[in-house]
Structures are given as C-alpha cells and as structure tokens.
C-alpha cells in the first residue's frame, strides 16, 4: 500500500499514459498526490484513465501524437495553462515496431519507429526543459530500454531509437544540471506489458506464453518484471529524493543485462 505523498503540490506530465508503463506510473504518481497531464495518441483509452484517477480536477488528458512537434507544444501549453508549472516529466511514449533482420527491415518501418521513439522524446525534452530552465527546477525520466544499452537482434529501429534516448539523456543532463534539473533514463527489460505480449506473439503466435516462459529462463530472476516495479523506480527518480542522480540510465531487468 502506497502511503507516501511525495508529489503533493507537484505537476507531472506522463506520455504514453493510456497503457503499459505510462498507465501504471500515472496511477502511482496520482496515489502520491501529483497533479497530472496525461498524454496519449489513443484518446478514448486516455479519457477512461482520467476518469478513473481524476480527483478535484487535478488531472487533465491531452490526446496527442508525440512524433508531431505541434502536438508536443500543445500538451505542454495545456499543462502551463492549467497548472502554471512542470515539476516532473515521464517522457515515456514509444512503440516496438516490427521484428526483422536489418536487411529486410525496410526504411518506412525504420522511419516510423524513430519518429515516435526518438523524435518524440527529443520534442518533449525541448519543450519541457525550456520551462524547467526558467523555473530552475524539475526532474525528467526518459524511457529507454535494455535495447538501448546492448544489442537484442531483429529490432533495428527500436535499438537505434533507444540508444538515441540514452544519448539524449546523457547530453541533456550535462547541459541542464546547472539549472537544478535532473534528467535520467530507465532501461526496462522484459516487463510484461501489452507491447511485450505483442512481441512474443510475433515470434510464437498462439504459443506466445510458451515463448515467454522460454525467454525468461535466461533471466537471473526467472520471471518477467511488472509495471508496478517500473513505476516505483520512475516515482523515485521524479520525487527529488536523490537529486544528485543525473544522466544515469538505470536497468530494471532482473539483472539480465549484466549476465552477458
């Protein structure tokens, strides 16, 4: 049971908030008192999340495509119009894309994944850090992946985009630490989300559960992680409890990325 109220009086933007890591982070942050701007391209699902979490008008939902700079500017403006500041930013929205060998991947799919996973993160950083620099305060968590710190195979665009997120995180942390802003990334491994389920279905079809069981046999903890475990890390990094953590990319994968 969550009893801490670390986000009382704080305003946090969460992208990709209608499902997966974003949804669970939104629930965690709301339970700790945050006012939230929930962002997702899927407006219907987003409104359902808002209705579930909303207390006293402390949550607004903005349907937006993070790969479009004008949409990013719109969700930042909506936040400022409503709350006047941005204390935290979970820059999370992303997709996996199709799985294929590099030679067969295709430029169209490569471009589509990078637009959402890398351009979207950059647009979010650009717009939010401008506000935080004026405040001289704030915390950002970007969603990278273990696919951003090592090779995973058959995911050229996903790996390239997530390596790019790690680079953006490190670069921006160096730039903005002087303004009292901490910028970090998380690198989730095999976390059981709809996106991971989709990936397993691409490999195993109706036998995806068996594929998943085989996949986690190499994990030191012999299981998938949960979205709640990830949201606990996100909340900690956004809470301001450890302000000297800056520029880090923190794996949350049961130790698997250290095994090879």
Side-chain-side CA neighbours of residue 114 (13 Å): 11
For the chain, counts of helices (H) and of strands (E):
10, 7
* Backbone region of residue 240 per phi and psi (left: phi > 0; alpha: psi in -120 to 50; beta: other values): left
Helix (H, G, I), strand (E, B) or coil at 84: coil
Take residue 239 and report the two structure tokens written for it.
Answer: 């809470």
Take residue 62 and report the two structure tokens written for it.
Answer: 């903005």
Residue ranges in 99-216 assigned as alpha helix (H): 102-105, 107-114, 120-135, 156-176, 194-204, 208-215
Distance set, CA 68 to CA 87, 130, 136, 168, 192 (Å): 23, 18, 27, 18, 28
Q: Is 105 a catalytic residue?
A: no
Take residue 26 and report the two structure tokens written for it.
Answer: 């939104």
Query: For the chain, first and last CA: distance in Å?
Result: 35
Residues 6 or more apart in contact with residue 104 via CB below 8 angstroms: none
In our burial notation (b when 16+ CB lie closer than 10 A, e otherwise), range 177-193 reads: eeeebbbbbbbbbbbbb
- Contact in structure between 31 and 55 (CB atoms under 8 Å): no
The catalytic position among 158, 176, 258, 260 is 158
Report, as residue numbers or ranges, the catalytic residues: 158
């Amino acid at each position: 049971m969550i009893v801490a109220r670390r986000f009382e009086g704080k305003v946090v933007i969460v992208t990709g908030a209608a499902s997966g890591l974003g949804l669970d982070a939104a629930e965690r942050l709301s339970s700790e008192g945050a006012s939230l701007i929930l962002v997702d391209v899927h407006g219907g699902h987003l409104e359902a999340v808002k209705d579930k979490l909303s207390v006293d008008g402390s949550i607004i939902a903005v349907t937006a495509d993070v790969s479009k700079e004008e949409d990013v500017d719109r969700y930042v403006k909506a936040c400022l119009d409503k709350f006047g500041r941005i204390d935290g930013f979970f820059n999370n929205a992303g997709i996996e894309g199709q799985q294929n060998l590099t030679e067969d991947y295709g430029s169209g799919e490569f471009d589509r994944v990078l637009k959402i996973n890398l351009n979207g993160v950059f647009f979010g950083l650009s717009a939010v850090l401008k506000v935080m620099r004026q405040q001289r305060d704030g915390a950002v968590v970007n969603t990278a992946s273990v696919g951003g710190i090592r090779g995973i195979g058959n995911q050229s665009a996903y790996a390239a985009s997530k390596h790019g997120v790690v680079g953006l995180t490190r670069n921006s942390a160096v730039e903005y630490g002087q303004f009292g802003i901490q910028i970090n990334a998380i690198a989730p491994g095999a976390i059981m989300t709809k996106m991971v389920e989709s990936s397993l279905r691409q490999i195993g079809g109706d036998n995806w559960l068996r594929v998943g069981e085989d996949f986690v046999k190499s994990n030191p903890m012999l299981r998938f992680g949960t979205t709640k475990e990830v949201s606990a890390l996100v909340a900690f990094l956004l809470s301001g409890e450890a302000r000297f953590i800056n520029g880090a990319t923190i794996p949350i994968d049961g130790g698997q990325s250290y095994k090879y």
